[in-house]
Amino acid sequence: MALDPDHLLNYCIPPVRQHYSRQDSAFYALSLGFGADPMDEAQLSFVDANRDVQALPCMAVVLGHPGFWLGNPDTGVDALRLVHAEQSVEWRSALPPEGEVIGRTRVTGLVDKGPGKGALLYSEKVLSDAVSGEVYAITRGTTFLRGDGGFGGDRQSLCQPHRVPERTPELVVDLPTRSEQALYYRLNGDDNPIHSSPATAAKGGFERPILHGLCTLGVAYHALLRGLADYRVERFAHLQARFCAPVFPGETLRTEMWNDGSFRTRVVERDLLVLDNGLVSLAQEESN
C-alpha cells in the first residue's frame, strides 16, 4: 500500500510536557560517554549531579521527545526500514540543568525519492519552558523512509547539505563508544527496538543493534565541544549534520574538524564515514 502523504503531513503528534531533574541531565551526558575520563574536570561538570552540574545543550534533542511515533500503525510508514538521515539544532537560550519543558513536534515536509528509492520526512520540534514559554531550542530532523517511496509526491529535497572543506582537517578527536551504550541512550526516550533487539535489527537489515543516530551526533558534539570550545557550552548557536551510515556500539568515533566549524565523523575500526556535511556555528557574541 502506497504511503498517504496528506495523512502524514497532517499527522497529529501530541505535545509532550516533561519534567527533568539534575540527575536526568547528568544521565544524558553519561549516555553520550561524558565522564569516561574521571580525571577530566571539564567532563565531570556535566555528569556529577551533586555539584553545580551543567546541562548539555544538545539534550534538547531528547527533551519533550514524542517517542517513536512513526512506529504507530496509523502512520502508514514501514517502521522497520526507516533511518535518521539529518539533524540540526538551533539554540535560542541556555538550557537549565532542571526544569519543566514542552516539546511541540510537527511534520514539515515530505519528499518522494521514487519507487524503490524511499522518501524523506522532515519534522521540527520547538522546545520551550512549560511556564514562561521561553524557547530553548528548535530541532529539525530528516527521516529516510526506505520502504515508502513511489507515492507521487515532490522529489526535490528541502535541505541542501553543507560542504566540508577538501583540505586536511585542522583538528581530530577520537572518542570511544561502549558496547552497551545504545541500551543507556534509549532510556532518554527513544525506545526504537532496532537499538536493543537483535531480531528487530536483523529485520531492518543490520547484523546487530545499532547506535542511535542522535547518540552518534552527541558523541560528535562532545568532540566539537572539546576541540573548538574548550567545553564552553555557550559558544555554539547552531549545529547540523547528515547521517551516512550506522554505528555499532563499542566502535570508536573520530571527529575531524575545521576552524570554520565544519566537521565529519567516521568509525575508526571500519574507516567508515558515519556523519558528514557537519557544521557548528558560533554564538553571535563569540563571532564578533
Say how far residue 198 (Cα) sits from the centre of its chain.
22
Active site residue 52: no
Annotated catalytic residue within 24, 112, 148, 190: 190
Annotated catalytic residue within 194, 210, 212, 276: 210
The whole-number average pLDDT for the span 174-202 is 93
Torsion from C-alpha of 238, 240, 246, 249, nearest 10 degrees: -10
Share of the chain above pLDDT 90, in %: 77
Active site residue 190: yes
For 22-36, what is each residue's pLDDT tens digit? 999 999 999 999 999
DSSP string for residues in 4-60: -HHHHHT-----EEEEE-HHHHHHHHHHTTTTSSTT-HHHHHHH-TTS-PPPPGGGG
Look at residue 1 in the predicted model and tell me its pLDDT: 56
**276, pLDDT greater than 70:** yes
The whole-number average pLDDT for the span 43-56 is 89
Look at residue 213 in the predicted model and tell me its pLDDT: 93
Active site residue 213: yes
Domain ranges of the chain: 5-287
Q: Which amino acid is at 91?
A: W
At residue 49, the 3 state secondary structure works out as: coil
Annotated catalytic residue within 65, 84, 195, 212: 195
Q: pTM for the whole thing?
A: 0.91
Look at residue 269 in the predicted model and tell me its pLDDT: 97
Annotated catalytic residue within 103, 213, 218, 261: 213
The position carrying cell 504507530 is: 72
In angstroms, rounded to a whole number, what is the distance separating the alpha carbons of residues 27 and 188? Answer: 8
Residue 229: name the closest of 56, 12, 36 by CA. 56
Look at residue 84 in the predicted model and tell me its pLDDT: 86
Share of the chain above pLDDT 70, in %: 96
CATH architecture of 5-287: Roll (3.10)
Active site residue 195: yes
